[in-house]
Structure formats: structure tokens, C-alpha cells
């Protein structure tokens, strides 16, 4: 009586061993390290790697290891003082070709890393990281919307054969169209009223000319600004996912601001570069009839615009944009099979594919250019004050002759390096920002505050754990010691599951673990009290053990299921900190069911099963 079949013992041993192995990486801590990331047109090859190593050796800075992961190089050090010295030496040597940043790397042994046994992630409140407060440029969002309206109105007027003299966005906002006569203006007025309901129209006669002024309606303005924030949040979240940051916090604050928290990121320069980048592409036809010399002299042909290629050569392109970056739904980097140069493979949405298909079908044999656009924030000192501006870089990276009709998928070449191709593909895949953003506040949360929180949380777990152990050992004697063993195993399993899921532990998560420590023995209390009751009723020790576990099971299951439902609701409707609490609570409930019921029963069976027992130490 009270014996498990062999397979149950083997299952318990397997779970315990697995839990111990996957919880083990959390004991090794982290090593201070320096992360070296290449900037545009640079790569980290073996020659560059030797240059970094020699720089440290010449500065007499000892390091423990050098690791290359993807396109980044990580150099580990024994302590933070060497890490700081190494960063200063590398920055001085490498200049602006690379980004050198401080980071922390798990000190997990190789044999554990080989089986994907990694430590759990720690949240911003524990590990430290980067906190950004970003402001969306609403004026730019409105300006971009007006420019889109200009392009759409121009296209529809041409399709309806309504002649106009000029159509442009006004410097003070709004759009103005000049017509030859009142009849054309009236036709356009009816057409625009029908097709563009978000625009308010006003006809003006000035200096013998027939003008129409168009302004965004108040509702349209609100929708544009709301969309700009929401779209930027989506784009930032995609970019953070591409960076591989675990459990980031990205949420709206106020009307035009976005909060971004990146736990564990010790490289704010790289994070700023990716999050704030507005790199995108535009595809335009080449103006093959206009004169470059006249354009350089200031006489740019109507409907065209002067650009510069990367080699500095001028080129005339049509003003009309075929497709833009916001119509790209997927992008991946690779190598062009014919030329061997870096390339980005682009996939367009249905609208963009149709426009590209129409243009390429009707312009075979003509040139098409790819314009690379990037907005870079700058800070200048004007009259002793800092003034933030944005510098827009527009350069033609590729000019090719349209040889065949294509639409949805094609490739773009002309990039300087595979790194630039990867970066551009990342930004295009994540989507273009609906409007430029500016980082108005930046905070780097250091590990000292996080370490204090970890220490306090760890102390709270230990104190609660010891008090529960003492109570159980005093009240239930040998059975209490069995429950304590299960409770210790429960803590190990919680850490192991968090590590295997690569979940993020936060302060509320530690609170969930502390609560689980107290709740985990509830099942054993119910079982042990039921065993006591059976003994008082005169049942034998073996029968009392069997009845205690069997009869308490339904009560234990009901209590834990209701708590688990509450935890699921918290996770579904709660925000970041509440979700962290719900995750650890849910995991704790499930692991405690295993350890408190199956685990303790196995130990009790080994102690008392299969033999005659006169008295139970309970």
C-alpha cells in the first residue's frame, strides 16, 4: 500500500534534474563587457577584430574572452574598472567607425549554454536599462498628410482631365490650386468634395486668378495626429522586437509622447539609432529629357527635382513618387547573384504593387532610381541656447533601367555594405515612422539600484521561506520536513520555468514568488490535516495516508484553479508590472501542485509505503 509505480518515480526525478539544470545558470551572474557595433559602411572582420585586441593589449588592459555574435563583437572583463578603461581606449582608437558601449553578458558555462540553459531576464527595475521619453512631431505628421493629398489631388485631376496651372502645399499650411478659369475650378470643386471629404474648400479670386484653398478639417487633423502616435508605437515595437529586447515597455503618454523602456540594454547609442531612425526608400522615374546643366544653374524642369547620387553626381528625377517605404510589407537583406553586391529584397503591399506594375509596364527601357531618405536629429548652439533640428539626407543609391514588367517583389542594390543592407531591411521590415520622433528625455537606470531591489526581494523570499519552514517543521514534524523539501523544490522549479521561457522577472514578480511560498504549503496543510483526522477516526497509518491524499485532492484543485483563474485575468487585463506578478503567480501555482501533491506523496511513499507502520510523525 502507498507505493508509486516505477515510471512515476522516474518522472519526478526527471523533472527535478531538469529543474536544477535550468535554474543553475541564474547562480553564475553576469560579466562586465564591451560591445562593439559597426556603423554604416563598416564591418567587423578578422582584421578589425585583431585591431581591437591589439588596442587593449597596447593599453595593458586584460580581458577574459572575445566573442563575435552576428555583426557585433563582445569583449568580456573580470571587473567593471577594466571594462571602463577598455571602453575609453577603444573609443579613442576607433573614432566614429564603430559604436562602443558597455554591456553585461551572462557568465553561464559553455555546457549549459549548449543546451539553451540561460538565466531569466530581469526587468528594468531590477537589472537596469534604458528609459526613453519620445515626442512625436505633429507638425511633420500634418505636413506629410498634406503632401500626400497634393499627390492624390494631382493624380485625380489629371485622370479627370481637369486643367490647372499650379498645385502645391502652402508654407503656412494647407494646399492651394490655381486654375485657368472658373469652370475648371467648379469642376474640381465638385470632384474634390466627393473624393476628399477630409478637406475643407474655399474659392478665392486674386489678381485675376482663380484659386482654391484646401485645409484639413478638424476631425481629419485629430485622426492624423492620433494615427501618427499609434503607428509610431507599432513601428517602435517592431523595431524593438528586431533588436531582441525581452519584455520592453512601449506605451503612449499624453497626446503626443511615447514611453519606451528597454530592460538590460546598456547600449543607449545603438538603441537611439534604431528607434529614432527614419530611413526609408522612394522609387522615382529618371527625367531623361531635362538638362542637368540647366538644373544646376537653378532652372529645374517643371515636374522634376535635382538629386545627388552617392558618388556626388547630379541626377534629375521625376517629382512623382512611384512607391514609398510605407508601402513595403517585407524586406530582407542578401547578396545580388549577378554583381555580388549587397541587396535588399522588397515586397510591396497590393496598392504599391499595382502602382509599381503600372509604371514598369509603361516605362520599359527607361531609368528608375531608388532614393534613400534618412532624418538625423541635430543639436546646435544658437545665441547660447541649444536648438534641436532635423537634417534630412536624400541620396540616390541606385539607378537601373527597367528591363521588364514587375510589381510585388524585386530587389534594390547600390548599398555600401552588407551591414547597411541589414539595417535598411530591418527598418523597412519594421515599417516607416508615421512622423519623426524626438527623444526629449533619456535615463539610463544603473545596476546599483537594481541590485538593491534584487537584494531586498531575495531577502523577502528567504525570510518568508525560513518562517514557513520553521512553522511546518514544528507543527507537522517529519511530514513538515517533507513539505519543506517540496517547497524548496517548488522555488527551484519556478526559477527553472522562468529561465526556460526566458520570461522577465520584475519586483512585482518577486512579490508573486513570495506569495507562492506562503500558498505552496496550503495543499500540504490540507493533506496533513486530513491524515490527522483519519488517524483520530481510528484508521491505520497506511489507510490514513492514502485517504488524506485522495480526499484532499478535490479541495486543493478547486482552490488552486480559482487562484489560477484570477492570475489569468490579471495577465489578460493588467499592465506590465501586474503581468509580471500574474506570470510568477501562475507558474508558482502549477509547480506547487506538482511538488505538494505528487512530490510529497513520492517521499512519503518511500518513507512509509510497503511496510507495517505503528505511528506517523505528524
445-495 pLDDT per residue, tens: 665 555 676 677 778 778 877 888 888 888 888 888 888 888 889 989 999
Is the predicted pLDDT of residue 538 greater than 70, yes or no? Answer: yes
Distance (Å, rounded) from C-alpha 248 to C-alpha 181?
58
pLDDT value of residue 41: 47
Q: Which residues of 11-37 are buried (b: 16+ CB within 10 A; e: fewer)?
A: ebeebbeebeebbbbbeeebbbbbbbb
Is the predicted pLDDT of residue 94 greater than 90, yes or no? Answer: no
Instruction: Give, in order, the Cα–Cα distances in Å from 141 to each of 231, 252, 322, 458.
Output: 11, 17, 20, 47
Let me know if domain 139-218 sits in CATH 3.30.70. yes
For residue 513, give the nearest of 466, 560, 453, 464 by alpha carbon: 464
Distance (Å, rounded) from C-alpha 566 to C-alpha 586?
9
Distance (Å, rounded) from C-alpha 197 to C-alpha 191?
10
pLDDT digits (tens, 9 = 90+) for 171-201: 888 899 999 898 999 999 999 888 888 888 8
pLDDT value of residue 231: 80
pLDDT value of residue 494: 92
Poorest-confidence range of 72-86, 136-150, 229-243, 576-590?
A: 229-243
CATH architecture of the region 30-106? 2-Layer Sandwich (3.30)
Is the predicted pLDDT of residue 42 greater than 70, yes or no? Answer: no
CATH code 3.30.70.260 region(s) in the chain: 30-106
For residue 500, give the nearest of 1, 146, 26 by alpha carbon: 26
pLDDT value of residue 445: 67
Identify the DSSP state of 181. Answer: S
Identify the DSSP state of 517. Answer: H
pLDDT value of residue 93: 80
pLDDT digits (tens, 9 = 90+) for 547-574: 888 888 888 888 888 888 988 998 888 7
pLDDT digits (tens, 9 = 90+) for 104-159: 788 888 888 888 888 887 777 777 778 888 888 888 888 888 888 888 888 888 88
Confidence of residue 95 (pLDDT cuts 50, 70, 90): low
The C-alpha cell of 250 is what?
Answer: 512601449
The C-alpha cell of 423 is what?
Answer: 539595417
Distance (Å, rounded) from C-alpha 154 to C-alpha 330?
29
pLDDT digits (tens, 9 = 90+) for 306-332: 998 877 889 999 888 888 777 777 777
Highest mean pLDDT among 40-44, 51-55, 341-345: 51-55
For residue 136, give the nearest of 442, 441, 437 by alpha carbon: 437
Highest mean pLDDT among 94-98, 205-209, 234-238, 379-383: 205-209
pLDDT value of residue 429: 65
Residue 98's DSSP bridge partners are: 38
Name the average pLDDT for the chain: 82
Mean pLDDT of 215-227: 89
Is the predicted pLDDT of residue 518 greater than 80, yes or no? Answer: no
Contact 157, 178 (CB under 8 A): no
pLDDT value of residue 148: 82
pLDDT digits (tens, 9 = 90+) for 416-440: 677 667 766 766 665 667 777 877 8
Which carries the bigger pLDDT value, residue 543 or residue 72? Answer: 543
Confidence of residue 213 (pLDDT cuts 50, 70, 90): very high
DSSP string, 195-253: H-TTEEEEEEEETTEEEEEEEE-HHHHHHHHHHHHHHHHHHHHHHHHHHT-SS-EEEEE
The CATH code of the domain at 279-432 is 3.30.1360.200
Query: What percent of the chain lies above the pLDDT cut of 90?
Result: 7
Is the predicted pLDDT of residue 277 greater than 70, yes or no? Answer: no
Residue 329's Cα: distance from chain center in Å? 18
Is the predicted pLDDT of residue 266 greater than 60, yes or no? Answer: no
Confidence of residue 575 (pLDDT cuts 50, 70, 90): low
Which carries the bigger pLDDT value, residue 23 or residue 419? Answer: 23
Question: H-helix or E-strand containing 377?
Answer: strand 367-382
Residue 373's DSSP bridge partners are: 280, 394
Poorest-confidence range of 35-39, 122-126, 387-391, 419-423?
A: 387-391
Residue 485 CB burial class (10 angstroms; 0-12, 13-18, ≥19)? middle
Judged by DSSP in three states, 74 sits in: strand
Identify the DSSP state of 172. Answer: T
CATH code 3.30.1360.200 region(s) in the chain: 279-432
Residue 339 CB burial class (10 angstroms; 0-12, 13-18, ≥19)? exposed
Which residue do the cell numbers 544603473 mark? 446
In degrees and rounded to multiples of 5, residue 506 shows phi and psi of -120, 180
Residue 406 exposure: Cα atoms within 13 Å on the Cβ side:
13
Contact 52, 102 (CB under 8 A): no
pLDDT value of residue 160: 87
Is the predicted pLDDT of residue 18 greater than 90, yes or no? Answer: yes
Confidence of residue 17 (pLDDT cuts 50, 70, 90): very high
CATH architecture of the region 6-25+451-608? Up-down Bundle (1.20)
Identify the DSSP state of 376. Answer: E
pLDDT value of residue 552: 85
Q: Which residues of 286-322 are buried (b: 16+ CB within 10 A; e: fewer)?
A: bbeebeeeebeeeebbeebbbbeeeeeeebbbbbebb
- One-letter-per-residue 3-state SS of 297-322: CCCCCCCEEEEEECCCCEEEEEEEEE
In degrees and rounded to multiples of 5, residue 106 shows phi and psi of -60, 140
Query: What percent of the chain lies above the pLDDT cut of 70?
Result: 88
pLDDT digits (tens, 9 = 90+) for 281-305: 788 999 988 888 888 888 888 888 8
Is the predicted pLDDT of residue 543 greater than 70, yes or no? Answer: yes
Amino acid at each position: 500500500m502507498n507505493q508509486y509505480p516505477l515510471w512515476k518515480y522516474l518522472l519526478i526525478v526527471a523533472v527535478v534534474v531538469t529543474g536544477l539544470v535550468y535554474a543553475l545558470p541564474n547562480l553564475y551572474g553576469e560579466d562586465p563587457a564591451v560591445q562593439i557595433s559597426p556603423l554604416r559602411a563598416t564591418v567587423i572582420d578578422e582584421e578589425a577584430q585583431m585591431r581591437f585586441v591589439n588596442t587593449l593589449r597596447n593599453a595593458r588592459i586584460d580581458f577574459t574572452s572575445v566573442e563575435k555574435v552576428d555583426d557585433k563583437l563582445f569583449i568580456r572583463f573580470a571587473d567593471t574598472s577594466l571594462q571602463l578603461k577598455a571602453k575609453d581606449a577603444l573609443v579613442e582608437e576607433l573614432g566614429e567607425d564603430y559604436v562602443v558601449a558597455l554591456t553585461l553578458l551572462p557568465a553561464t558555462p559553455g555546457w549549459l549554454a549548449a543546451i539553451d540553459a540561460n538565466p531569466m531576464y530581469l526587468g528594468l527595475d531590477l537589472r537596469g536599462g534604458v528609459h526613453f521619453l519620445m515626442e512625436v512631431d505633429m507638425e511633420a505628421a500634418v505636413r506629410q498628410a498634406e503632401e500626400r493629398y497634393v499627390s492624390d489631388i494631382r493624380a485625380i485631376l489629371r485622370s479627370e482631365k481637369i486643367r490647372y496651372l499650379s498645385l502645391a502645399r502652402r508654407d503656412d499650411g494647407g494646399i492651394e490650386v490655381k486654375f485657368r478659369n472658373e469652370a475648371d475650378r467648379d469642376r474640381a470643386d465638385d470632384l474634390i468634395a466627393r473624393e476628399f471629404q477630409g478637406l475643407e474648400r474655399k474659392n478665392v479670386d486674386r489678381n485675376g486668378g482663380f484659386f482654391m484653398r484646401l485645409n484639413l478639417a478638424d476631425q481629419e487633423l485629430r485622426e492624423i495626429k492620433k494615427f501618427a502616435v499609434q503607428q509610431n508605437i507599432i513601428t517602435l515595437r517592431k523595431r524593438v522586437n528586431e533588436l531582441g529586447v525581452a519584455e520592453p515597455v512601449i506605451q503612449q503618454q499624453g497626446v503626443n509622447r511615447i514611453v519606451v523602456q528597454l530592460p538590460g540594454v546598456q547600449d543607449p547609442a545603438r538603441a537611439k539609432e534604431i528607434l529614432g531612425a527614419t530611413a526609408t526608400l522612394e522609387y522615382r522615374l529618371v527625367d531623361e529629357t531635362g538638362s542637368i546643366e540647366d538644373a544646376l544653374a537653378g532652372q529645374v524642369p517643371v515636374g522634376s527635382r535635382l538629386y545627388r547620387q552617392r558618388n556626388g553626381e547630379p541626377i534629375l528625377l521625376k517629382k512623382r513618387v512611384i512607391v514609398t517605404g510605407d508601402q513595403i510589407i517585407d524586406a530582407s537583406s542578401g547578396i545580388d547573384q549577378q554583381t555580388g553586391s549587397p541587396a535588399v529584397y522588397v515586397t510591396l503591399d497590393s496598392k504599391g504593387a499595382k502602382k509599381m506594375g503600372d509604371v514598369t509596364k509603361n516605362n520599359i527601357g527607361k531609368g528608375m532610381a531608388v532614393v534613400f531618405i534618412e532624418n538625423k536629429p541635430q543639436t546646435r548652439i544658437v545665441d547660447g541656447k541649444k536648438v534641436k533640428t532635423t537634417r534630412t539626407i536624400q541620396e540616390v543609391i541606385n539607378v537601373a533601367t527597367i528591363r521588364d514588367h514587375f510589381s510585388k517583389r524585386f530587389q534594390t542594390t547600390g548599398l555600401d555594405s552588407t551591414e547597411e543592407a541589414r539595417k535598411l531591411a530591418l527598418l523597412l521590415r519594421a515599417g516607416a515612422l508615421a512622423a519623426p520622433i524626438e527623444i526629449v528625455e533619456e535615463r539610463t537606470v544603473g545596476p546599483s539600484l537594481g541590485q538593491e531591489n534584487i537584494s531586498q526581494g531575495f531577502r523577502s523570499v528567504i525570510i518568508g521561506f525560513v518562517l514557513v519552514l520553521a512553522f511546518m517543521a514544528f507543527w507537522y514534524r517529519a511530514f513538515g520536513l517533507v513539505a519543506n523539501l517540496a517547497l524548496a523544490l517548488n522555488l527551484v522549479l519556478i526559477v527553472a520555468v522562468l529561465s526556460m521561457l526566458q520570461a522577465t522577472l520584475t519586483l512585482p514578480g518577486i512579490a508573486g514568488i513570495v506569495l507562492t511560498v506562503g500558498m505552496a504549503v496550503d495543499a500540504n496543510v490540507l493533506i496533513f490535516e486530513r491524515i490527522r483526522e483519519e488517524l483520530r477516526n481510528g484508521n491505520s497509518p497506511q489507510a490514513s495516508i492514502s485517504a488524506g491524499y485522495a480526499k484532499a485532492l478535490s479541495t486543493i484543485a478547486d482552490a488552486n484553479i480559482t487562484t489560477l483563474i484570477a492570475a489569468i485575468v490579471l495577465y489578460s487585463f493588467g499592465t506590465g508590472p501586474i503581468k509580471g506578478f500574474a506570470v510568477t503567480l501562475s507558474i508558482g501555482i502549477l509547480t506547487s501542485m506538482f511538488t505538494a501533491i505528487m512530490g510529497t506523496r513520492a517521499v512519503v511513499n518511500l518513507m512509509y509505503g510497503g511496510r507495517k507502520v505503528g505511528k506517523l510523525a505528524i
